[in-house]
Amino acid sequence: MYGDILEVSDSGLMEKTGGCQGPAGAAGVKRLYDISGVSVQGRRPKNEDTFYIRDFGDACIFAVADGMGWLPHGDVASGIAIGTVKNFSEEGLSLFQHEKEMKAFLVKIHFLVKIHETAHQRIIDEARGDLFGMGTTLTTAVLNRNRLYIANSGDSRAYVVGDGIRFRTTDHTQIQKLVDAGSISENEARFHPLRNSLYGYVGGNFVVDTYSLELSEYDIVILCTDGFYAYTTGIEFFSLRDYTHSNHIAQSLVNSVIAKSDDNVTVIAARFR
């Protein structure tokens, strides 16, 4: 689903949700994954986060984008980015369903990089007048049976959670450079004044990283914006396997930070099984 407004909760926070389930295969064979997303406006005047989930049967493509609040029209930028994912997902159907296994990695990574490059160019092309200078993060992923392919621009994140966090993407922020250099710790980075200073994003100084991982049984894939992870210590990830459906996972993670976060909060959870 793409930005469907579901309800306004008791706290007055606008929620957007969507989800799908992976293929069942032959009769009696359990589904390979289920996936759901939740986006909450929070205390911000509008929600500049956007997400997308599309099930192809043998594969699922999903993405989050966070329009940068310190630049104009972040909601427009994130909408353009996710709109590009949506457009490309139709083309991706044949790649996911029919590509030979030996070429699968290169095809899917190239496919995701092309999405990011196209979204970047679209934002540049449309950044005229009041829209000048707009930008967004973009994290995209393809789940194809037990393989996960990720592309990332900016500081939205992808996690893989098993018995704790076993993978996350690298932020394109100035503070991440300090962490990588050993100058400060991950915990110090959470409160550093430069934590939101990006050196790479879609619509600005373009950067994209790619990853390919093999998932294990009961792994959980999380895509999220910084409105979530900036307000969590990570302990929330350790109980995720107790949930039986991805929607419960996504909603639980959002609920764990919404009272603390002063930003939009978006989480997609994919449960591999």
- Which SS3 state, helix, strand or coil, does residue 105 take? helix
Contacts of 129 (CB under 8 A, 6+ apart): none
| pLDDT greater at residue 130 or residue 92 | 130
Query: Tell me, what's the pLDDT at 6?
Result: 26
Weakest mean pLDDT among 4-8, 35-39, 128-132, 245-249? 4-8
- Dihedrals φ, ψ of 218, to 5°? 75, 10
Determine phi and psi for 240, rounding to 5 degrees.
-65, -30
Q: With 80 as the cut, is the pLDDT of residue 12 above it?
A: no
pLDDT-derived band at 211 (thresholds 50, 70, 90) equals: very high
Nearest to 111 by CA among 125, 91, 97: 91
List 62's β-bridge partners, or say none: 53, 141
Mean pLDDT of 51-70: 87
Identify any residues that bridge with 35 across adjacent strands, giving them in sequence order: 20, 270
Which band of pLDDT confidence, cut at 50, 70 and 90, is reported for residue 29?
Answer: very low
Which positions ≥6 away from 81 have C-beta within 8 Å?
A: 50, 63, 65, 119, 123, 136, 138, 202
Instruction: Write the pLDDT tens digit of every residue in 153-209.
Output: 999 999 999 988 999 999 999 888 887 788 887 777 777 777 778 999 999 999 999
**Neighbouring residues of 264: CB distance < 8 A, sequence distance ≥ 6:** 39, 40, 41, 42, 44, 47, 48, 49, 66, 225, 227
Res 238 pLDDT > 90: no
